[in-house]
Structure 1
Amino acid sequence: MADLLFCEPTELYNILNQVSKLSRLAEPNYLCLLDVRSKRQYEESHVITALRVKKRAHQYLIPESVDLECVRYCIVYDSNTSSLELCIRRQLNEEEEEEETGGGEELLPGPAVEFGQILIHFTRQPVYVLRGGYECFSGMYHFFRTQKIIWMPQELDAFQPYPVEILPGRVYLGKVSQACNAKMHKDLKIKAHVNISMETTPYFVGNADKLLHIKLEDTPDSFLFTYFRHICHFIELHLRLHSVILVFSTRGISRSVAAVVALLMHYNEETLKRSWAHVKKCKTNMRPNRALVAQLLEWEKVLHGQYLTDISEPIY
């Protein structure tokens, strides 16, 4: 039997924005996102790709269109569950009309937890309950709300992932094409750029306070180490100003990744191994080249006075 765990809104956001060659949402066994709210609420709006869970005779029905044994991420949400514990819930006369009054109260799990407890008998991977439910997630990421119910494979292939979130609502990691995307820029409220590529973007041109452009090619001998302190200070200044920063490179998997790993090591006073693991969780296709990994190890020595991470073993 699988575990039932919480999923933070930022985790779901990053899961929705993972890529291989295309968006990973196009993979049939990647994500099963399940909405246990009422039919009316679901039709008003829901998270993209979410399936509505139906009931028959007050019993949840397992979606037949999904092979739950093979799904990598199975995530359930309701309106606002914020605890995996039992809570007091009013019994309803009509399951789909939350405004209806019922005949008393009883100690019950939230709807997402209740359904999640059923799902763990059908999955191999953990089942996740979205903390704060739809209300919290849609408040943070309104641009992922939709009324669309059926997604064709070609639509999922064409889905344009957003930059991943490294520090929730504060630091994002992406690629040049995302840095040039006006809608993403507006939706994420980006106020500053760290561009580690040879390309230029239309934002903050000539504004050294909001644009740090490090012109560095993606080659095995690229030397980013000398810029780590400048990158950290630039980003930390904007964090104090409550600005949202996008760090990016051409493909967003090597140079910019090394920069955000260096930032986390400095900002959180962490080891290379711990910071690497955090970024890897946020962006699963990250691939800094070995030279950059070695430079990050030197940065670890600068910050901690000694080498604490063994890079002779692959940390990918």
Structure 2
Amino acid sequence: MCLRAFIFGSHRLFFFLNIFVLFPVGLFFFYKRTHYRVDKSRIVPSILTRRASSKHAAPCREVNGTANCSNSNTLPPFVSAESTSEEGLLVPATPERANIQRGYVTPQQVYNLLNAEAGQPALHDPNYILILDCRSAERYKQSHLVTARASVTVMHPELGCLISCVQLQEFSIILLYAEEGHSPVGSEEARHDSMPLQRCFFQLSTLGMDPVILLGGYSAFHSLYPFLCTPRMILLESERRSLTIYPSEILEGALYQGSAAQAHDYRIIKNLHITHVVNATAESTDAFPSVVRYLRLRLNDDAQQDLSEALPAASRFIARALRGSPGVPGGRVLVHCSLGRSRSSVLTLAFLMEQRCWSLLHAFRWLKERRGCAAPNAGFLRQLSDYEEQLFGERLTSLDDIRL
């Protein structure tokens, strides 16, 4: 009887311990994590913040369950004969999106994550992104993604998580990568590709994290962005603040949008192979006229600024630069204003509308997914709405649907 009473009393004690101690603690950590993700929503693209509602949500809007690297960015960035009606108006088109396996992000998405800005560069925040290199220690020491840590310093094969789960909860994004690989998580092919990555992925998932995997691995990223790979281990916030932040990539290997400071950094111009620049400022000079072709528009970030000539001029300039000419391959264009938010955004949107035949809403959503800080002023948006009617013969977008 005494033993039975003791056992019964222990069960009651454990029950009340769960109700009054463990449950509130769990609620605190859950609130802390979700609250932090909401605070970070301005710098974490919606493709990643939606992971909270589905453990392996797709990084692109259209998902068919297969890993397919096709991307509409490779399409000709200008209007074809089939894009116009008999009246000479554009025929609206819908952006084509890559079909990416759930739980993966593309190298371009990672590039834009590393260079995201919201008031200040997101990468300067040590709790913004945790990148875990799941390759061998030797390969990590040779070169890795900037700010990446060797996975075994965080997730030990036998001991599990080597940092507190509270610290792990602080990160807005957890990114894993192997040397290469496109196989679905958990498949036999994936286990063969990289056992350490698979083990790390499921360890983190067990802890309630939502890690994503770099599609194509280090090899795919390095082939496109070698300047964002380094042998240096960068952990301290002071070291992060010394990193170069690059313009956002709007169309892969073609169109970029950023700030005047970035347009004046020759290392950025060289690394991105920029051949043409649209300078939308009235105050910033053309930094490298001997090596780069410029379109200077001298706009003010003022809702009353007239854009009737600037929008078609910028669109034509960008299209010609990307198309190239006989014997001259297409180039790469950087569109910039002072901070890369308002004036540059309105010019980028006009190009996407006119040369891709996208409605203002489709163009805006495309831009915001790649440059979260893009925010054209209200007067610019109204003029873009007028431009949409001029291009398509009708207003396709309600400005009430535009969310800055």
* TM-score bin, normalised by smaller chain: 0.7 to 0.9
Match of residue 140 from structure 2: 42
Q: Which residue, 227, 234, 249 being the options, matches 1:165?
A: 249
Partner SS for 1:68: helix
Runs of 5+ unmatched residues, structure 2? 1-53, 57-101, 325-329
Distance change (3 Å), C-alpha of 1:77 and 1:301: same
- Higher helix fraction (1 or 2): 2
Who is 1:227 aligned against? Answer: 310
* Aligned pair partner of 2:229 in 145, 155, 158: 145
Given the alignment, which residue of 306, 309, 320 partners 1:237? 320
Question: Which of residues 11, 23, 27 in structure 1 aligns to 2:125?
Answer: 27
Q: Tell me what 1:62 maps to.
A: 161
Superposed CA deviations along residues 186-221 of structure 1, whole A, max 9, x for unmatched, are 1001101111111212222698xx211101112121
Q: Match of 2:129, as an amino acid?
A: L
> C-alpha offsets along residues 230-259 of structure 1, whole Å, 9 cap, x if unaligned?
211211111112201111111111000111
In the other structure, the counterpart of 1:192 is: 276
Determine the C-alpha separation between the residues in 1 that align with 2:159 and 2:391.
53
How far is 1:20 from its partner? 2.8
SS of match in other structure, 2:350: helix
1:181 maps onto 2:181 in alignment: no
CA distance in structure 2 between the aligned counterparts of 1:60 and 1:162, rounded to whole angstroms: 38
Runs of at least 5 residues in structure 1 that lack an aligned partner in the other structure:
90-105
Shift of 1:2: 2.3
1:118 and 2:203 aligned:
yes
* Separation of aligned partners in 1, 2:363 and 2:198: 31
* Aligned position for 1:130: 214
Equivalents in 2 of 1:57, 1:65: separation in Å? Answer: 13
Match of 1:10 in 2: 108
Which residue does 1:287 correspond to in 2? Answer: 375
C-alpha spacing 1:296/1:116, structure 2 compared with 1 (3 Å): farther
Deviation at 1:286, TM superposition (A): 1.6
8 A contact 2:181–2:193 mirrored in 1: no
Between structures 1 and 2, the one with greater strand share: 1
Q: In structure 2, how many angstroms separate the alpha carbons of the residues matched to 1:136 and 1:72?
A: 23
Structure 1 residues 200 and 23: CA distance shift in structure 2, 3 A: same
Aligned-partner Cα distance in 2 for 1:155–1:26:
9
Report deviation, 1:107: 6.0
Contact 2:151 2:200 in 1 (8 A): no
Whether the 8 Å contact between 1:18 and 1:24 is mirrored in structure 2 is: yes
Indicate if the aligned counterparts of 1:87 and 1:110 stay in contact, CA closer than 8 A. no
Q: Distance in 2 between matches of 1:221 and 1:46?
A: 47
> Shift of the alpha carbon at 1:268?
2.1
Report if aligned partners of 2:279, 2:296 keep a CA contact under 8 Å in 1. Answer: yes
Contact 1:36 1:52 in 2 (8 A): yes
Say whether residues 1:300 and 2:388 are aligned partners: yes
Mapped contact 1:6–1:131 kept (Cα < 8 A): yes
Residue 296 (structure 2) pairs with residue 216 (structure 1): no
Distance change (3 Å), C-alpha of 1:65 and 1:300: farther
TM-score (norm 1): 0.86
Q: Tell whether the 8 Å contact from 1:81 to 1:112 is kept in structure 2 after alignment.
A: no
3-state SS in 2 of match to 1:120: helix
What's 1:77 paired with? 177
Deviates more, 1:23-32 or 1:34-43: 23-32
Residue 130 of structure 2: SS of its match in structure 1?
strand
The residue aligned with 1:309 is: 397
User: SS at 1:312's partner residue?
Assistant: helix
- Of 246-255 and 1-10, deviating more is 1-10
Aligned residue in 2 for 1:98: none
Q: 1:255 aligns with which of 343, 351, 354?
A: 343
Over aligned residues, Cα RMSD in angstroms?
Answer: 2.5
Aligned-residue offset at 1:278: 1.3
**CA, structure 1 residues 158+263, in 2 after alignment: closer, same or farther (shift >3 Å)?**
same
More displaced stretch, 111-120 vs 30-39: 111-120
TM-score for the superposition, normalised by structure 2: 0.68
Worse overlay, 18-27 or 229-238: 18-27
